[in-house]
Amino acid sequence: MGFIESLLAAGIARGTPLLIAVLGETLAERSGVMNLGLEGVMLASAMAGAGTAHATGSPMLGLCVAACVGAVFGLAHAWLTVSLRCDQVVTGLAMVFVGSGIASVGGAGLVALRQAVPHFDAARIPLLGEVPFAGHVLFGHVWLVYAAFLAVPLLHLFLTRTSWGLSITASGENPNAASAMGIDVMRLRYACVTAGGALAGVAGATLSLAVTPGWVDGLTAGQGWMAIGLVVVGGWRPVPAAAGALLLGTIQRLALDLQGLGIPLFQDPNTAYFLNMLPYLAAVLVLVAAALAKRHSRAPAALGVPFAAGDVK
């Protein structure tokens, strides 16, 4: 039972950066713009957050700077894809290379610091944290975990129950009709892509300031790509995508916990390589299952399609 307790608790923590990135990408793609640059944005933001926290001694300031870095990347992506109508796939891949390069160069001096970087500490919620099993699994995390969980239903309600959310959906489904109804599609897409970038920045900082404090090159280890896949698996809906993020977070942790059991099979180097591959294998299998099911997985009709006011189709 202790193994399962620790696994689920750590899985929730490790799934939180994925969850935050998924929420930001869902918002952007629902407006009609996909951002394949999440991996680069998360890396640059994680490095900026760790560097700022080390320089100022404030992890909160590091988180804010990381969000701003992510927003700048999002704004740049929006300018290229919305205003200049560049190909969204090419632009997203360029963001990956730029963000990864900035992170590698800028974070070179931070690698040796590791745990010395100021970071957010987990704290148990009074009373709830003392409940057997559930207290350890659910109520002993960093505050960012609870904020991410709260954001899931809020984003769902925002997209489905508010006029702004419905306008975002209209912009992603039929921007010409939305524009004819008086919706400023380009401004709305700018806002969604920038906000999505800011959330990706927060996701990166959650890694470097809470989940695995400190900075190492390649810290995200493909989580930006996983987040993009989870948006597709979740059918561009926040709740199922969030559930997928927590599942992958748990699988990521499972690989580490199995190696720590002291069982010779799991400590064999060849087995360790396979265990480390589990999160990526799981992501591929989930994507395949979602494609075969073909239920509630239709992408926004105008996703990836450039738009300019006055276009007629």
Per residue in 74-130, pLDDT (tens digit) is: 999 999 999 999 999 999 999 999 999 999 999 998 988 877 889 998 888 888 878
pLDDT of residue 10: 87
Assess contact for 92 and 230: CB atoms under 8 A: no
pLDDT of residue 260: 66
Residue 312, pLDDT > 50, answer no
Look up residue 79 and give its DSSP letter.
Answer: I
- Distance (Å, rounded) from C-alpha 22 to C-alpha 15? 10
Give the mean model confidence (pLDDT) for residues 46-68.
96
Residue 310, pLDDT > 80, answer no
pLDDT of residue 272: 67
Q: Which of 225-229, 248-252, 288-292 has the lowest mean pLDDT?
A: 288-292
Which segments within the chain are labelled E, that is strand? none
Look up residue 80 and give its DSSP letter.
Answer: I
Q: Which band of pLDDT confidence, cut at 50, 70 and 90, is reported for residue 264?
A: low
The encoded tokens of residue 84 equal 């200049």
Q: Which of 14-18, 58-62, 288-292 has the lowest mean pLDDT?
A: 288-292
The encoded tokens of residue 162 equal 């508010």
- Of 133-137, 215-219, 257-261, which one has max mean pLDDT? 215-219
pLDDT of residue 233: 85
pTM for the complete prediction?
Answer: 0.91
Q: Find all residues with CB under 8 Å of 175, minimum gap 6, and list them.
A: 32, 185, 302, 305, 307, 311
Residue 1, pLDDT > 70, answer no
The encoded tokens of residue 165 equal 């959310």
Percent above pLDDT 70 for the chain: 91
Residue 73, pLDDT > 60, answer yes
Give the mean model confidence (pLDDT) for residues 44-58.
95
- 7-293 fold: ABC transporter involved in vitamin B12 uptake, BtuC (1.10.3470)
Q: Find all residues with CB under 8 Å of 307, minimum gap 6, and list them.
A: 32, 82, 85, 175, 176, 179, 185, 186, 189
Q: Which of 56-60, 165-169, 309-313 has the lowest mean pLDDT?
A: 309-313
First to last CA, the chain: 59
| Mean pLDDT score across all residues of the chain | 88
- Helix (H), strand (E) at residue 43: helix 38-56
pLDDT tens sequence across 169-191: 999 999 999 999 999 999 999 99
Residue 164, pLDDT > 50, answer yes
Amino acid at 96: V
Assess contact for 74 and 193: CB atoms under 8 A: yes
Residue 313, pLDDT > 50, answer no
Assess contact for 43 and 218: CB atoms under 8 A: yes
150/2: higher pLDDT = 150
Give the mean model confidence (pLDDT) for residues 6-27.
93
Q: Which band of pLDDT confidence, cut at 50, 70 and 90, is reported for residue 256?
A: confident
